[in-house]
Amino acid sequence: MNVQTTNLSGKQGRRASRFLTRALLLFVGWQALYHLVLQPWGQPDALLTRTVLAGTLRLLQLFFADVTLQGNSILINHLPSVSVADACNGLELIALYLGFILLLPSDGKRMAGFAALGISVIILLNIIRCSALAVLYQHDISTAHFAHKYLFTLIVYAFVFYGWMRYTKKPVHEQQL
């Protein structure tokens, strides 16, 4: 029995080492691609920032009569409420989410489904986050700062973790009874 445990630990160690090596290569590759190609070109940051701004504007317009966009800032009743910078557009979180999905073995259809759903939900959560921050910054700046730095970060990372946990579980049709 000790031989099997040792053998299993060795196999798990190799798997963990392979996973960490692939994760490091993916991270270095992403950083190189982003900083050497995508960021100088302005993509995908510009598109993602515009998407979050447009979604935030539309969501706020459901609740306020006077919501306008001025550059990357949203004004409610002619008062600045929130600005969305490229650093706040959720790209890093999307890359982190996708990186983990890509590192785990799965069939392409399942991987694509989780990737598409995860990206969509992260963008939607970011739109809701920016909308809530816009309102908070108008009414209570200290609460807005706390929500921006801690609360919304916790909520979004909790979703990412939940998505990863769902992805690591075998689909029902693959589970043995």
The interaxial angle of helices 2-33 and 91-103, nearest 10 deg, is 140
Asked if the model's pLDDT at residue 70 lies above 60, the reply is yes
The per-residue pLDDT for range 74-127, each reduced to its tens digit, is 999 999 999 999 989 999 999 999 999 999 888 999 999 999 999 999 999 999
Q: Is 14 exposed, middle or buried (0-12, 13-18, 19+ CB in 10 A)?
A: exposed
Q: Which of 105, 116, 97 is nearest to 161 (CA)?
A: 97
For every residue of 79-96, DSSP letters joined together read EEEEE--GGGSSHHHHHH
Q: What pLDDT shows up at residue 7?
A: 56
The per-residue pLDDT for range 163-174, each reduced to its tens digit, is 999 999 877 666
For residues 23 and 99, is the Cβ–Cβ distance under 8 A? yes
Q: What pLDDT shows up at residue 146?
A: 94
Q: What pLDDT shows up at residue 22?
A: 93
pTM, two decimals, is 0.85
Q: Which of 163, 168, 157, 52 is nearest to 118 (CA)?
A: 163
The per-residue pLDDT for range 40-67, each reduced to its tens digit, is 987 899 999 999 999 999 999 999 999 9
How much is the CA Rg of the chain, to the nearest whole Å?
A: 20
Taking the C-alpha atoms of residue 58 and residue 130, their distance in angstroms, rounded to an integer, is 12
Please count the CA atoms within 13 angstroms of the CA of 33 that sit on its side-chain side: 10
Average pLDDT over residues 2-28: 79
The per-residue pLDDT for range 129-174, each reduced to its tens digit, is 999 999 999 999 999 999 999 999 999 999 999 999 999 987 766 6
For residues 121 and 156, is the Cβ–Cβ distance under 8 A? no
Asked if the model's pLDDT at residue 36 lies above 80, the reply is yes
